[in-house]
Amino acid sequence: MREVGRPVVGTSLGDVWQDVVTGQPDPEQWIIVTAAVVALAAVLLGPPWRVARNVVTIAHEGGHALVALLSGRQLTGIRLHSDTSGVTVSRGRPTGIGMILTVFAGYVAPSVIGLLGIMMLKAGYITALLWLSIVVLAAMLLMIRNFYGVLSIVVTGAVVFGVSWFTPDEVQGAFAYLFIWFLLFAGVRPVIELQSQRVRNPSPHSDADQLARLTGLPGTLWVGVFLLVNVAVTLLGVWLLFF
């Protein structure tokens, strides 16, 4: 753990590694609450949401990619677009439980990642969380197949790296809680946007409609499942932190 008041410019790999393996104390409660309020505002307000939603897309497509690999599919590429949409392509059986889980994973990934992050933060592993995020982003970068996707991953990774390397524990803690609160809260809004888009401009390519074809269950039902899972996960994350 860094010594209080030690110059940040003196950070070394050994200092960071010590923070990764030993953990840090939680920020003060008011910092955690403020981070939650700011994260919620970023989800609810239009201008910040349009920028921050790129992080949600990274988590969404990362969820597809991870579950595709875990279910034995061959991951061939990920694309992230400037309109905050994305595509993850994998090869394997076009039907079956592996394909169902792969398609299902996208919309629940941000909230689930947020919950896992809350667990790490409660255990004190603030720097470890930031560096795990960098490792995951680096792994995703290898599969990105378009320029905007590369730009999104590199900029996000650079921000996380800068905070983890150049800032004191207090700033890292505030940033980590803001980051995780945002992912936890941000899982709900895209599901609502999905259903709104399905009503205005139906598309057979949405995750819900792909699941409808794979399972025979209505796409609207799958939207409801996404929403139920994300709301439940969000409430669990809040409960873990405050109760």
Classify residue 231 as exposed, middle or buried by CB count within 10 Å of its CB (0-12, 13-18, 19+): middle
Q: How far is CA 63 from CA 18, 67, 104, in A?
A: 29, 6, 9
Identity at 217, one-letter amino acid code = L
pLDDT for the residue 7? 41
In order along the chain (243 residues), what is the average pLDDT of each group of 10 residues?
44 68 83 96 95 96 97 96 95 95 97 96 92 96 97 97 91 95 96 95 91 97 98 95 83
Do residues 137 and 156 lie in contact, with contact meaning Cβ atoms separated by under 8 Å?
yes
Task: Please give the model's pTM, rounded to 2 decimal places.
Answer: 0.91
Quote the CA–CA distance of 207 and 209 in Å, as a whole number: 6
> Which residue from 183, 197, 182, 194 is spatially nearest to 226, judged by alpha carbons?
194
pLDDT for the residue 19? 67
Classify residue 238 as exposed, middle or buried by CB count within 10 Å of its CB (0-12, 13-18, 19+): middle
Quote the CA–CA distance of 24 and 2 in Å, as a whole number: 9
Name the β-bridge partners of 88: 78
DSSP 92: S
Do residues 138 and 154 lie in contact, with contact meaning Cβ atoms separated by under 8 Å?
no
State the pairing for strand pair 86-91/74-80. Answer: antiparallel
Q: DSSP states of 32-53 as a string?
A: HHHHHHHHHHHHHSHHHHHHHH
The CB density around residue 142, as the number of other CB atoms within 10 Å, is 9
Quote the CA–CA distance of 243 and 101 in Å, as a whole number: 32
DSSP 205: T
